[in-house]
Amino acid sequence: MYDDWLCILAAENLQRISEAMEDDQIFLTTETVEYIFTVCVRLRLPQEIKYLAAIIFNKFMLVHVDDLYKTVYETPHPIAHKQNEWERIEANISRQIPLRILSAIQIASKLHSYHDSLSRSMVKLALKTLGYAYTVNSVMRSEIRILSSLDWNVSSRQSPLVYAETLLKMLGSILTIDSLRVNCRKAFPERRLTRTFNTAAYWQFTLLCMDCVFMFWDEILERMLINVLGVAGNNFPRSVN
């Protein structure tokens, strides 16, 4: 069973790598990810939801901003008019960021467990707590806007946490205390095994690493490129000012 599932994950990951673009994570800034994670913690949501919400929000913003940009700059109006119109749209986009983030979290919670997902009233209350006044109807329209922008395809790939969880479960099942005892007794019959595989500790460490990766995409990638390519790694800019 694990072999089949690993093949699926490997094929999916290869597709993700082949389709990767330089600006794929442009909207997952440290501040944005921290905001998403903080809201999820305050709402006491399962760990997977915050990662999935960040991915959904980023995917939506990439499509949303690109569509709006094309709408403005493909018109026959003068450049000055286009610039003024785009500045107005940028202001609207910025003002709606908290709403979009909560909608992404709501969608992620439904994908995780529809029974325990955030209702529109709960999203409205969360926004009110954060200082934003939206109606239930506005919350509904925002959710539909995200889903329609993504062609209602928000879960075509597994979240990174699923990969980590799968590998951790495999290690937990393979490196059980009984199997280790058998192997050690065969190789070292005079010794006793005293160490165990602490799954809970590794799980917490995995979550910590995942949090850091999501919050510091650019810094981690830059360091990896420099480690692999040396000075040439500096020729692959990732940050967008």
Rg (CA), the chain: 22
Domain ranges in the chain?
23-150, 160-235
pLDDT(77) > 70: yes
Quick: pLDDT tens for 112-133.
888 889 999 999 999 999 999 9
Q: 155 and 70 in contact (C-beta within 8 Å)?
A: no
Confidence tier at 75 by pLDDT (50, 70, 90): confident
Quick: pLDDT tens for 212-239.
999 998 888 888 888 887 776 666 655 4
Q: For residues 208 and 26, what is the distance between their CA atoms, to the nearest angstrom?
A: 22
Question: What's the CATH code, domain 23-150?
Answer: 1.10.472.10
DSSP 112: H
Quick: pLDDT tens for 131-175.
999 999 999 999 999 999 999 988 767 888 888 888 888 877 766
Q: 214 and 48 in contact (C-beta within 8 Å)?
A: no
Total-model pTM: 0.82
Q: Averaged over 100-108, what is the pLDDT?
A: 97
